[in-house]
């Protein structure tokens, strides 16, 4: 930019007379300079300004100082310069954007002042110093962007910032610090800021905060954070997690300024309290149930066991924590006595439920044995990954004892304890089938008591029952250990002699007759003697008559009675 072409103008003539060393210094200065008359027409610009705005060195067309202002600032900057031109002010300093030769805006710092005449003190020129602040503006914009980004991040995380100057006991609170407490964003910080803050704390949290707030100010390395409840204006409470530490120290190393953040953790604390309550309910439930429960990790190591499991295994939970469950859950087969694999191992290996129910015995640490029923179920994470197993087991000793008792009652005579008619018929059918298959004979004895009715009639049914018990013991004692003796009627008994030919069977039958005949039964001061008649038949491939084996033994028994009682008769001999 050069001086205007109207060189006859008095102001320009006066300006051109400046051709001094000072003028040359100004023209070569690093700071942009321009001069205009009081009508705003440019009369001079130095090299730095021309370079700054990308203007050429040739004479420029008629241009005014206001024409250099970029359109983005046309609404503000010209107004301030016009006040100088109109003589309403003598100086102006501020920032604006000028228009570069290529059209883009350029941020500059403008310092303008009015040059007065020495004689008349009238305003003659407007002298403007222009400094390029483009880099500074970009740095400010970057800083503002960074600050906005961090403020947005902190507010999105509902984190408020506080800054405590310990030297002056002044406190700064950020906008979010106030919002999370339900306070107005522009609420001023009171002089007694700590007392006002403490007055809002939940009564149950005051002692804890007072005991630890100085640790935060002093940067105690063993102190992590403060958790407390603070009352909002509506009376509700917000849970606060406060973290902070010193950032400035005096010459003695004593903290003089502490900076920190507060986070609204109300939702997390609510969930935490709900989980704690749920955990307590679960603990009480597990402690109350009678079933034993052992929880393991994916390697089968114990992580929890309830009191029922402690009682049934004989181990305490703390004692077995981390041990393999197979070491404390010792099983054996109730029939064979063989050691059984822990169902947890099966469950973890197959990723499926493992169930044991039949004749399983749990051997406790104390050696106590219990009938149990147990199930091991896999525990999986939400993604399906196996995380461990839960073993649930019940003591079924009482129910199984009852089952065994019921099963015994179904197959045995309640009075004598001998197998009953149904059990004997099943055994007889098995013996008949075996004789048919392997051609090995058995003997069948049918026993009917002699003179039993007279004892029952004279001494009563209680005496008769006691006598039947003695007869049962006598018959059982006269047989071999593998023979089957049964009560099949009121005073009728039967014996199945396994793998016994006829002549050997006759010896057993005679032994039974003699034993019963020698029995002296005493009741109410009176002695009774009875006898027995026995019918025999041999069980082989098929019966000797259409009567069947039981019919043949019954017929032989009638023959023994007909022949004078107190004897054993073979069917083939009648």
Among 30-34, 199-203, 239-243, name the one with the lowest average pLDDT.
Answer: 30-34
The CA distances from residue 379 to 320, 353, 376, in Å, are 20, 10, 10
pLDDT at 435: 87
Q: Which residues pair with 240 in a beta bridge?
A: 228, 264
Tell me 546's DSSP state. Answer: T
What CATH topology corresponds to 412-573?
Alpha-Beta Plaits (3.30.70)
- Predicted confidence at residue 343, as pLDDT, reads 92
Cite the residue boundaries of each domain of the chain with CATH code 3.30.450.20. 10-132, 151-269, 292-400
Whether residue 395 lies in the annotated active site: no
For domain 10-132, which CATH number applies: 3.30.450.20, 3.40.50.150, 3.40.50.300, 3.40.309.10?
3.30.450.20
Among the listed residues 37, 264, 491, 554, the single catalytic one is 491
Q: What is the pLDDT of residue 381?
A: 87
Q: Which residue did the predictor score with more confidence, 568 or 44?
A: 568
**Whole-model pTM over 0.85:** no
What integer is the mean pLDDT of 15-29?
64
Angle between helices 397-411 and 421-438 in degrees, nearest 10: 70
CATH 3.30.70.270 placement within the chain = 412-573
8 Å CB contact between 264 and 180: yes
Q: What is the chain's mean pLDDT, rounded?
A: 86
Over residues 300-315, the mean pLDDT reads 91
- Vertex 426 angle, CA 424 and 432, to 5°: 100
Domain 151-269 bears CATH identifier 3.30.450.20: yes
Compute the average pLDDT of residues 96-120. 88
The reported pLDDT for the residue numbered 62 is 67
Q: Is the pLDDT of residue 18 over 80?
A: no
pLDDT digits (tens, 9 = 90+) for 478-503: 998 889 999 999 999 999 999 898 89
Quickly name the fold that domain 292-400 has.
Beta-Lactamase (3.30.450)
């Amino acid at each position: 930019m050069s001086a205007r072409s109207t060189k006859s103008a008095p102001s320009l003539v006066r300006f051109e007379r400046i051709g001094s060393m000072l003028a040359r210094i100004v023209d070569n200065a690093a700071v942009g300079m321009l001069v205009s008359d009081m009508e705003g027409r440019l009369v001079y610009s130095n090299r730095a300004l021309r370079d700054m705005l990308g203007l050429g060195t040739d004479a420029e067309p008629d241009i005014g100082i206001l024409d250099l202002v970029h359109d983005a600032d046309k609404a503000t900057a010209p107004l301030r310069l016009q006040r100088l031109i109109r003589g309403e002010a003598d100086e102006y300093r501020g920032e604006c954007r000028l228009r570069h030769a290529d059209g883009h805006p350029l941020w500059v710092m403008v310092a303008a002042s009015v040059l007065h005449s020495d004689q008349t003190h009238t305003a003659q020129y407007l002298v403007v110093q222009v400094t390029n602040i483009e880099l500074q503006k970009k740095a400010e914009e970057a800083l503002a962007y960074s600050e906005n980004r961090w403020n947005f991040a902190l507010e999105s995380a509902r984190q408020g910032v506080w800054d405590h100057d310990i030297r002056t006991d002044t406190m700064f609170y950020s906008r979010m610090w106030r919002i999370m407490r339900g306070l107005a964003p522009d609420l001023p910080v009171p002089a007694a800021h700590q007392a006002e803050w403490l007055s809002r704390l939940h009564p149950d949290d005051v002692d804890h905060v007072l005991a630890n707030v100085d640790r935060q100010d002093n940067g105690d390395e063993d102190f992590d954070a403060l958790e407390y409840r603070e009352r909002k204006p509506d009376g509700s409470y917000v849970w606060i997690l406060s973290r902070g530490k010193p950032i400035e120290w005096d010459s003695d190393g004593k903290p003089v300024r502490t900076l920190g953040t507060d986070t609204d953790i109300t939702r997390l604390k609510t969930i935490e309290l709900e989980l704690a309550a749920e955990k307590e309910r679960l603990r009480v439930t597990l402690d109350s149930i009678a079933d034993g429960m052992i929880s393991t990790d994916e390697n089968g190591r114990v992580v929890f066991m309830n009191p029922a499991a402690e009682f049934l295994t004989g181990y305490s939970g703390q004692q077995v924590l981390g041990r393999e469950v197979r070491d404390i859950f010792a099983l054996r087969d109730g029939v064979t006595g063989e050691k059984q694999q822990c169902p947890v191992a099966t469950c973890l290996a197959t990723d499926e439920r493992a169930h044991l129910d039949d004749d399983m015995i749990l051997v406790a640490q104390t050696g106590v044995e219990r009938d149990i029923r147990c199930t091991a179920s896999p525990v999986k994470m939400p993604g399906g990954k196996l995380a461990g197993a839960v073993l649930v087991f019940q003591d079924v000793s009482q129910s199984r004892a009852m089952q065994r008792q019921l099963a015994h009652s179904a197959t045995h005579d309640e009075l004598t304890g001998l197998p009953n008619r149904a059990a004997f018929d099943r055994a007889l059918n098995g013996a008949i089938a075996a004789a048919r298959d392997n051609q090995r004979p058995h003997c069948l004895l049918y026993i009917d008591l002699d003179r039993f009715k007279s004892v029952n009639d004279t001494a009563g049914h209680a005496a008769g029952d006691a006598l039947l018990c003695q007869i049962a013991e006598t018959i059982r004692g006269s047989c071999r250990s593998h023979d089957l003796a049964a009560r099949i009627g009121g005073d009728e008994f039967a014996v199945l002699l396994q793998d016994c030919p006829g002549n050997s069977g006759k010896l057993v039958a005679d032994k039974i007759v003699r034993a019963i005949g020698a029995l002296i039964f005493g009741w109410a001061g009176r002695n009774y003697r009875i006898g027995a008649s026995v019918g025999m038949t041999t069980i082989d491939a098929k019966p000797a008559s259409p009567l069947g084996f039981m019919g043949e033994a019954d017929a032989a028994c009638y023959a023994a009675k007909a022949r004078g009682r107190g004897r054993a008769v073979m069917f083939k001999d009648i």
